Structure 1
Amino acid sequence: MNTLEDLYYGNLFPQEKCAKLDDEVKELLKLLNRNEEKLTVTLTESQKETFEKYKDCKREISEISERESFIKGFQLGARIIIESIS
């Protein structure tokens, strides 16, 4: 099976390779979680609900942005390959 077939049949998961986090990102995630915990304990139930909605929107924006970056990167790579064999 070639790479395109593997991708088509769901045998490749390029997003998994992006999930490896370096130490700097791990530290930032710890800091983010710590600060979120500190903030959350000070909020009312209504504020917590609003904050959860806010995080959901931010997560969705990040997912869209990551998808678009992946597509643009893939397109750029394909153009480079096409130009190199032309």
Structure 2
Amino acid sequence: MDILEDLYYGNLFPHEKCAKLDDEVKELLKLLNRNEEKFVATLTEVQKETFEKYKDCNREISEISEREIFLNGFRLGARIIIDVVNN
């Protein structure tokens, strides 16, 4: 693992940090949860298991994408700094 991944995963900061969610995101999360509860209530047990697997895969894809975006942002920032210093 490189230093940026350590930074991303919080390995460089032993204390826990919580992100503040703005009101718009909080409302969207409430809506998402409410709609998911209604949807899951209509499913059979087999369908619920399939939906849980779907959510797990989606969560994993999101985590990978977020990590790559984080790393790319730091790399771009480093290239910008190098360019500024060299000019």
Q: TM-score, normalised by structure 1?
A: 0.79
| 1:49 maps onto 2:55 in alignment | no
- Equivalences for residues 1-86 of structure 1 within 5 A: 10-12=11-13, 16=17, 19-86=19-86
How many residues of Structure 1 are paired with residues of Structure 2 in the alignment? 76
Read off the aligned partner of 1:57 and give its amino acid letter: C
Greater per-residue helix proportion? 1
1:74 positional shift: 0.5
What corresponds to 1:4 in structure 2?
Answer: none
Residue 55 of structure 2 aligns to a residue whose secondary structure is helix
Choose between structure 1 and 2 for higher RCO, CA contacts under 8 A separated by at least 6 residues: 2
Gapped regions of structure 1 (runs ≥ 5): 1-6
Read off the aligned partner of 2:13 and give its amino acid letter: L
Which piece of structure 1 moves more, 20-29 or 45-54? 20-29
1:84 positional shift: 1.0
1:54 positional shift: 0.4
Runs of 4 or more consecutive aligned structure 1 residues displaced over 3 Å after TM superposition: none
d(CA) in 2 for partners of 1:12 and 1:85? 28
What corresponds to 1:3 in structure 2?
Answer: none
Read off the aligned partner of 1:12 and give its amino acid letter: F
d(CA) in 1 for partners of 2:51 and 2:36? 10
Q: TM-score, normalised by structure 2?
A: 0.78
CA RMSD of aligned residues (A): 1.9
